[in-house]
Each structure stands twice: as structure tokens, then as C-alpha cells.
Structure 1
Amino acid sequence: MQTQTNTPAITAADNRTRFIFDDMPIRGQHVLLEKVWQHIVGQKHYPVAIRRALGELLAAGVLLSSNLKIDGTLTVQVQGQGRLKMLVVEAGSADTCRATARWDEQAQINDDDSLAELLGENGVFVITLQPRDGDPWQGVVPLEGGSIAEMLMNYMKRSEQLDTYITLAASDTACSGLLVQRLPESEPNPETWEHVVTLAQTATQEELLSLSVQHILYRLFHETPPRLFEPEPIEFACTCSRGKVSDMLLLLGGEEVGSVLAEQGSIEIDCDFCHAQYVFDETDVNTLFGTDIAAAYRESRNAAQLQ
């Protein structure tokens, strides 16, 4: 597991906890992130409305990644064409996560702007599964719902045909989520499922962000208490590397990279997730491509000007 040197210390709050109802074919998960979330929001000056949406998506991504049956990474994205361009969360099978957002930094964003207002029209929800060894799988669907939780519940219903209820919360200092789901290949009594969901719906934002998993589950389900499993600590970890940036430059091609190098003298790439900076000077780039691409670009530009 590759972890940045500025990874925050894990506290008891930075955990995901699974639970199951022994007398009902229903399972669930709870996640509460504090230090991890504070580390992520410390990377950029996020507007309140975007910070809230990103925190909710982070909690959701950590919940969904618990079902990864392979060594790899789950990426959850919400993309729009409005003031908010993209929310991205990556959660790995090694119980790590990272998150970032892109938006029009010149636009006015009010604290109470809804997610739908920020994304504009033609928004999409993208989920990508990237095994460590193997080809990725990706699903893209139109956004349905006015919140991250509603979008995910609609997606789960469509893709996995599983009854799922999700509630999410985010503040400046914490993000949290609660998920209950019908077990695969089971059919709970509709009244039983409705009863569990009705109880879960009473969880408030404040409770999600401040109560431990034991307290919130007791508050919700003390008449039929679920069985809790050992908590799984969640860490922030960024998977960026100089090697991955080198691969990206190769994909861009010699002409585009050479033009930047000729104009600026070097290429600087900042990681959106952890703000690590990677600098490639002319020697680095020439070694990467195996030729003097800056000189080749200048020659081709001079030749074009002479025509």
C-alpha cells in the first residue's frame, strides 16, 4: 500500500463497520470519517455546497467499496456541465480512499445551492472498477435524484436489483453514511424491509456526524439489534506517482508535450488529490521519449512558418 507522508493519524472515528440482522435477510454498513475527511478538505478551498456533496460521495464510496471482491480500486464520479464539473472519489480494497472536485472557480456558489443546481443538465453518474491486474469495468448512467444518496439508491436498484437504503451527511469536520441492504438472493418480507428502512430514515444529520456506530444502531434498532463486525480502519492514501505522470505524458504525445516544453522550459503537474508536484525538465522529457522533442517541435514550427 502506497501512502503519502502527510497521511493523517487514524482515530476511532475513521472506521467502516459492517452489521447484519440475524433474524432478517438484511445487512448494513456504517462509516464515519473525521481525520481522513479533514485531510481531504484541507487540500483545497471548497465552497460549502461542493464540500458537502464531496463529503457525502466520499462516505458513499467507502461504503460501496466494502463489497470489492478483488484487489483493486472503485472510483465513483458525478459529472455535470454546470458550475460543478466533477466530484471524484476513489476507494481501494486496502481500505484507503481519496477524493477531489472540480468546479468553475469564477462562478458564484451559494452555501444552499442544491447538487442538481450545481451540476446543471445532462449530468451522469460513473462507477469504475479497476482491478490491480486486469481490465477495468465501467458503468455510466444518467443522474436520477436530487442528492448523492438518491442517485446511488437509484443506481443500486438498476444495476444490482437490490433493495438499498442510504443516508449520508457531511460537515466541515466529518462525513458519514449509513447503508442497509437486502441480502442477495433473498426476499425479505416487504413489511420487514419497510420497517427497517423507516427506522433508518429517522437518523438525523447530526446523529450521523456525531454518534458512534454502537450508539446510532442502538438508537435506531434497539428492538431488533444487529450483530456488529470488527471495525475496519480507513486511511487517506494517494496513488499518484512520477511513473503514472510519465505514462500520462507519453499518452499526450511528443508534439503536445514538446510544445509545452518549448514554451515553458519544463512541465509541472500537480496531483488534484494530494497536491504532490511533479516537475519534468527538458532532460527528463527527452529521456522519457528517447528523443529531443522540444527541438523537434521547434523545427516543425519553423518549417510551418516558412511555408
Structure 2
Amino acid sequence: MPSQDITQRFLFEHADVRGELVSLNQSYREILAKHEYPEPVKALLGEMLAAAVLLSSAIKFDGLLVMQARSSGPLSMLMVECSSQQEVRAIARYSDDLSGDGLRDLMPDGVLAITIDPSKGQRYQGVVALEGESLAESLAGYFDSSEQLPSRFRLLADGRTARGFMLQALPADRQTDPADRSETWNRLSILADTLSVEELMALDNQTILHRLYHDEDVRLFDERSVIFRCSCSAERSGNALVSLGREDAFVLLDERNGEIEVDCEFCNTKYAFDRAALSELFDQARDHAQNLH
């Protein structure tokens, strides 16, 4: 069986190709436990979770990767955040009359945005249409065209376990002849396509790589843990109220009968602020501003 909540990189020693395998169990279930999603939404959200971890592991950065899919269909939004420390959270929005099964039915005319928000440096965003029958196909199309990095993805989720497999070509280094590079990429891709749904869901990473690439020289790196962790906090909720301004915040407080509740959409945690708490927030904000001058 796959290990619990890990991502693991692998590299071909004699080819310019890398890969990543991700397995999500507890973190995926914790996210689903926060909301009562229909089964098709659970599956697509799990696929996007696996994809976000795959991409965040492949990109060297310190910060946050955000994947957001939007459409005019019955599933209007999927959003996943994965930090460079492999901390994940996710949310979906859908209509009450949800019907259909799969990406094409649930998110017709959808658009996928991939945002890299580094702790330091410039924010980057790429956008691609959700084309094809699956999220995996859409991601492959994005990297083939936008990033010029031929890529293949397998994404599976069943409401309990989410699995992801990525194969990606690298810039020429070990193989400089274009014909050799093309032949190697095609061979490794064809072998990857032989991996069955049952194998990806049931086998551990080492067994999968041996099953696919026993004739290749493959280096499997150490596992890295993935966990569910929401970035919400009382402080961040308080800052959102302070951004309203003192007058508007206290008007809102009166409208809410003396208590403002700020809900986190991701984890359903509620942060409550009464008049004393709100006054303290603005006093602290005033003192902080004065100390800056």
C-alpha cells in the first residue's frame, strides 16, 4: 500500500527526465471532513490536491502555490493551496443541482490558474483552459505549450486516497542529441501509460517504479511529508476587520447584535469578536502605526 501523505521525487540517471509520486490519505480526508461534498466533487478536489503537491515539489521556491479552477458549470470553483513545506488546504464551490460526472460535465468552459506566490520576489501566474477529458490532460497541455516542458500526469482520487504521478522532460544535459531525447521521452511516456488505476492506487512508490522502469537507472529520493494545515488565525481575521476601518467595523458590529463572526471557508473555523475585542484590535493597530513613525 502507498505510504501515508508523502511526496517523492525520482530522476533518471542517464536521461533528462524527472518525476514525482504523491500519496494523500489523512490530509485529503481531513479536508473532506470540513465540508459535505458530493462524490464527483470529492474526486476532482482530490485530483487537484495531488496535482498541486506534484507541482509545488517540482518547483524550487519558498512560498505558496495556488491552483484555482473556475467555470460557469455546476462546479463553479476548485481551489487548492500548497506551501513549499507541503502544507495543503482546499475548497470547492458547486450548485445545489449538481449533475454530471467528470471534468467536462462539471466544469465546461473552465479555466485553470496556477499561481506561484513566493515569500520573496515576484508573483507569477499562468492560465490555461480546462481542455480535454481530465485535469491531468489540461495540465499536460499547459506545460507542453506554456512552459515548453513536455509533461505527463496521472491523477486519481476516490474520496479516501488521492494519488498523483508526474513525468517531466528537463532541459538538455545528459542527452544533447534531439533524436535521442525524443526517443527516450517517448519510451518513458509509453511505459508510464501502462500503469493501471489499480496499481497506482494500491502499490507503493518503489514498487511502481520497478514495475514501470526496471530496465532503467532510476534514483528515488527520500519521502517528504504532506499535511493538512489551514493558514487562518484569529490575528488574520482581526486584520481583515481592521482593514474595514473603525467606523465601518463598529457599524457592522451593531448590525450583528454586538458580535462579528469571521468564518474560514477552508476549515469552517469561526472567529468571534465582541465590542471589547474589536476595540482592542483598533487600539493595537493604532499603537503599531505610531511605533512605525
1 CA distance for matches of 2:266 and 2:117? 18
Compute the displacement of 1:35 (Å). Answer: 1.5
Pick from 250, 265, 279 the counterpart of residue 272 of structure 1.
265
Pick from 145, 154, 164 the counterpart of residue 167 of structure 1.
154
CA gap of 1:160–1:288, structure 2 versus 1, over 3 A, is: same
> Is the CA contact 1:47–1:109 (under 8 Å) kept in the aligned structure 2?
no
Aligned length: 277
1 CA distance for matches of 2:248 and 2:93? 23
CA gap of 1:80–1:256, structure 2 versus 1, over 3 A, is: farther
SS where residue 272 of structure 1 aligns? coil
> Is the CA contact 1:90–1:99 (under 8 Å) kept in the aligned structure 2?
yes
2 CA distance for matches of 1:96 and 1:42? 17
> Is the CA contact 2:129–2:138 (under 8 Å) kept in the aligned structure 1?
no
Pick from 144, 150, 164 the counterpart of residue 157 of structure 1.
144
The residue aligned with 1:262 is 254
Compute the displacement of 1:225 (Å). Answer: 4.6
Pick from 62, 76, 83 the counterpart of residue 85 of structure 1.
76
Compute the displacement of 1:134 (Å). Answer: 4.3
CA gap of 1:86–1:221, structure 2 versus 1, over 3 A, is: same
Compute the displacement of 1:133 (Å). Answer: 3.4
The residue aligned with 1:127 is 114
TM-score (norm 1): 0.83
The 5 A counterparts of 1:102-121 are 102-104=93-95, 106-110=96-100, 113-121=101-109
2 CA distance for matches of 1:58 and 1:117? 20
Which moves more between the two structures, 90-99 or 46-55? 90-99
The residue aligned with 1:73 is 64
The 5 A counterparts of 1:1-307 are 12-104=3-95, 106-110=96-100, 113-121=101-109, 123-185=110-172, 187=178, 189-252=181-244, 257-264=249-256, 265-289=258-282
Q: Which runs of 5+ in 1 are unaligned?
A: 1-10, 291-307
Compute the displacement of 1:256 (Å). Answer: 5.9
Compute the displacement of 1:258 (Å). Answer: 4.6
CA gap of 1:207–1:258, structure 2 versus 1, over 3 A, is: farther
Compute the displacement of 1:157 (Å). Answer: 1.8
2 CA distance for matches of 1:157 and 1:258? 52
Which moves more between the two structures, 48-57 or 140-149? 140-149
Compute the displacement of 1:203 (Å). Answer: 1.5
Q: Which runs of 5+ in 2 are unaligned?
A: 284-293
Residue by residue over 1:205-257, the C-alpha shift from the partner in whole angstroms, topping out at 9 and shown as x without a partner, is 22211110011111111222521111111122111112222233344556764
The residue aligned with 1:4 is none
> Is the CA contact 2:11–2:220 (under 8 Å) kept in the aligned structure 1?
yes
TM-score (norm 2): 0.86
- What RMSD in Å do the two structures reach over aligned CA positions? 2.2
